[in-house]
Amino acid sequence: MPQNLLEQLRTYTVVVADTGDIEAMKQFRPQDATTNPSLITAAAQMPQYQPIVDRVLIEARKQIGCCAADSAIANLAFQRLAIAFGKEILAIVPGRVSTEVDPRLSYDTAGTISQARSIIAQYDKAGIGHDRVLVKIASTWEGIRAAEVLEKEGIHCNLTLLFGLHQAIAAADAGVTLVSPFVGRILDWYKKDTGKDYQGASDPGVISVTHVYNYYKKFGYKTQVMGASFRNIGEICELAGCDLLTISPKLLAELESTQAELPRKLSPEAARTLPIEKIAVDKAAFDRLHAEDRMATDKLKEGIEGFSAALVELETMLAKRLVELEAHKPAAV
């Protein structure tokens, strides 16, 4: 009997858990873990993680002061909450955790650099080294420029919300550690735009990640590719051999319960034999190529807006919880 798909995938690819659920990480034992504002918001609403949320809120209130507005305390708390979950995750996974910069800074290079440094400083304070943290930044031109500065400082970056080859090339030219092309979101766009269904190797998301992977390996870039945002295990199987794949607990469970042969689909050796043309991507080229790619334009904008909305939801939830904590605080004697 063949090994299950998850066991076979691990022989080709680093498996990463795409979740803020610590219990799921204990179950599937991934090498690394990624989080984003939506995942942290979802995890923060789970009863088992309420003590983490409350601890972060109390610490934020102490730092800002009891007279500060609840909204200001909640804003600081959300920044700390992602790190709090990250520290819990790193107690389980042997590799790295990705922690995201506020997506509302996606077009602000200086703001992104400042918050990334703050994230790393907080991990440093907890005794967690730079080699175990990836700072997630949206793949805008401004985000890529921020990542270039940060990488030179030894802060490793994960460029997320990546939908087009132009974004991937600019990120690799900037020397980023890792990029996260969004497979499922690309598929969603094409299904809606064409009215067609796609399976296997014809999946536009699979095709996009394959192009990025082959381009990097053809030209010897050190930047790694981590496929993300999967809709089904068929997409994952088509990308077996990709440097890393970040997978939700639901799809990890499906891979683990499926017995079938899993051939390797991507490899550096095969990529180096392909007739691929090198593309120069400066800002003018980036802007032109992005404007010409309706899918990348739509999905980058939608992704930034979605993650930003998740943070607003999280801040609202934290402010409400802070009021509840204040109401139950023992009166001063």
Query: What does residue 215 show for φ and ψ, rounded to 5 degrees?
Result: -65, -45
Q: How many CB atoms lie within 10 A of CB 51?
A: 9
Return the amino acid letter for 179: V
Q: 67-71: long-range contacts (C-beta < 8 A, 24 or more apart)?
A: 70/319, 70/322, 70/323, 71/315, 71/319
Report the alpha-carbon distance of residue 6 to residue 291 in Å, rounded: 38
- Range list of H helices, 195-278: 204-218, 233-238, 249-256, 268-272
Report the alpha-carbon distance of residue 108 to residue 112 in Å, rounded: 6
Report the alpha-carbon distance of residue 196 to residue 15 in Å, rounded: 30
Catalytic residues: 136
Element (H, E) at 138: strand 133-138
Report the alpha-carbon distance of residue 214 to residue 13 in Å, rounded: 15
List residues bridging with 135 in a β-sheet. Answer: 99, 157
Report the alpha-carbon distance of residue 95 to residue 272 in Å, rounded: 28
Whose tokens are 């790393």? That residue is 120
Which of these, 158, 157, 177, 179, lies nearest to 168 by C-alpha position? 179
